[in-house]
Homo-oligomer: A and B are copies of this chain.
């Protein structure tokens, strides 16, 4: 491992005095508002988010892909990079695998290797939206929704395999995003395709190991451009309701139609006891898979506000699985992940800065302006000292990107990792 904690800290040393001053000044300011900085720091430290194996290489669009030097060539190298992200942020102790992209030959060995790096495994992801070399039947016209039972069988078997691998790795959930859909009116029966999907999901659900959950993930379009079978949270909810208590819905922040109020979707799923997890990213147009918080940071804060409320209200079914799901097209993948975790920690910190009693009182009395301002007071606060402090206490870096750049990690790896090919893909 190129980055040893001392290196990370070395980059921080010069900044430490300034950090302390900023933190104390902020703590005093918060104290005036009746908030304890330490409480927020603790809340940030509780926040954990999984890193997906595929996000460690450069993504792309249908128009092209521009990979950079030093990208990981193997699953082991991906874990190595993931460990760097965790070391510098202190917030990503688990990796989320995507099969067959990262199907481990020897799950036990992989698990042991990960443990050595301080990593575990989060929800596993199946993939029936691409044909793999040597695959018997094509998913061109669908998988779980395919009119041909043999194709559905193949897709279910793949998912059962994914569960099996996940079990061996110590994961406790499977996330199923289906690209199934149609490009043209008439191409598929809108109702029957949904029934078929439910039937296949039942089979996977029945095979879940004890303690596991199944997450259904919706998306309005792409790659299907007329109709997608699991197109919105309502459809996802119907599936999760039909499957049972261990089925919940996963919300990807980029899988919504223009102008959707996503925090409302979150609130509805929370209210129905069906919010299972998140795929974090940001977007301006569609499923753009940009760095979380890069386009609409206030909207991200509002989503975290709902999550904090759910935690405060101790909603019984609330046990969210957080994952990053982005396509790093232009930035260095590790840097992009570091920046992303920082943005999520910031949104989390700000959501804990909300004065909930004041907010409730303003809502009750109908003071629209002051209720809004209560949220804005939290959002306007410069919470960077709080998340830096949370990382510092976790032994991570005050400024993860700076630490990463200072370490020279990528240059070292570029020299080591030659001739690698990361398969093209995108979520």
CA distance A406 to B294 in the complex (A): 38
For residue A363, which residues in chain B have a CB less than 8 angstroms away from its CB? 147, 186-189
Q: Given A261-B231, A285-B286: A238 and B272 within 8 A (CB)?
A: yes
Q: Given A62-B60, A372-B186: A191 and B261 within 8 A (CB)?
A: no
From B138, B235, B401, A66 is in contact (CB under 8 Å) with B138
Residues B183 and A290 in contact, CB atoms below 8 Å apart:
yes
CA distance A27 to B331 in the complex (A): 32
CA distance A233 to B5 in the complex (A): 50
Chain B nearest CB, measured from A414 CB (Å): 15
From B283, B380, B426, A62 is in contact (CB under 8 Å) with B426
For residue A372, which residues in chain B have a CB less than 8 angstroms away from its CB? 184-187, 291, 294
CA distance A364 to B187 in the complex (A): 9
> Nearest chain-B residue to A377 (Cβ)?
B384
Residues A285 and B222 in contact, CB atoms below 8 Å apart:
yes
For residue A18, which residues in chain B have a CB less than 8 angstroms away from its CB? 32
For residue A60, which residues in chain B have a CB less than 8 angstroms away from its CB? 62
Residues A190 and B260 in contact, CB atoms below 8 Å apart:
no
Chain B nearest CB, measured from A222 CB (Å): 7
For residue A401, which residues in chain B have a CB less than 8 angstroms away from its CB? 369, 373
Residues A183 and B330 in contact, CB atoms below 8 Å apart:
yes
For residue A261, which residues in chain B have a CB less than 8 angstroms away from its CB? 220, 226-227, 231, 284
Residues B298 and A296 in contact, CB atoms below 8 Å apart:
yes
Q: Given A298-B295, A371-B184: A260 and B259 within 8 A (CB)?
A: no
Give the residues from 59 to 83 in chain A that come closer than 8 angstroms, CB to CB, to chain B.
59-64, 66
CA distance A263 to B193 in the complex (A): 14
From B226, B231, B339, B369, A331 is in contact (CB under 8 Å) with B369
Residues A234 and B231 in contact, CB atoms below 8 Å apart:
no
CA distance A217 to B221 in the complex (A): 24
Chain B nearest CB, measured from A144 CB (Å): 15
Q: State how many residues of chain A have any CB contact under 8 Å with chain B.
A: 112
Residues B259 and A225 in contact, CB atoms below 8 Å apart:
no
Chain B nearest CB, measured from A99 CB (Å): 15
Residues A186 and B371 in contact, CB atoms below 8 Å apart:
yes
Q: Given A140-B330, A187-B363, A223-B63: A194 and B368 within 8 A (CB)?
A: no
From B148, B238, B424, A268 is in contact (CB under 8 Å) with B238
Q: Given A62-B425, A258-B257, A368-B330: A225 and B285 within 8 A (CB)?
A: yes
For residue A244, which residues in chain B have a CB less than 8 angstroms away from its CB? none
From B226, B258, B285, B364, A147 is in contact (CB under 8 Å) with B364
Give the residues from 171 to 196 in chain A that come closer than 8 angstroms, CB to CB, to chain B.
179, 182-191, 194-195
Give the residues from 209 to 264 in chain A that come closer than 8 angstroms, CB to CB, to chain B.
220-223, 225-227, 231-235, 237-238, 257-261, 263-264
CA distance A359 to B185 in the complex (A): 11
Residues B184 and A290 in contact, CB atoms below 8 Å apart:
yes
From B130, B182, B259, A285 is in contact (CB under 8 Å) with B259
Chain B nearest CB, measured from A244 CB (Å): 16
Can you list 21 A-B contacts (CB < 8 A)?
A18-B32, A62-B223, A62-B425, A184-B368, A185-B305, A186-B362, A187-B368, A234-B265, A257-B260, A258-B259, A291-B372, A294-B372, A295-B298, A297-B379, A332-B369, A339-B369, A339-B373, A373-B401, A380-B382, A380-B383, A424-B424
Name the 5 nearest CB pairs between A and B, nearest first. A234-B234, A190-B267, A64-B130, A225-B288, A66-B140
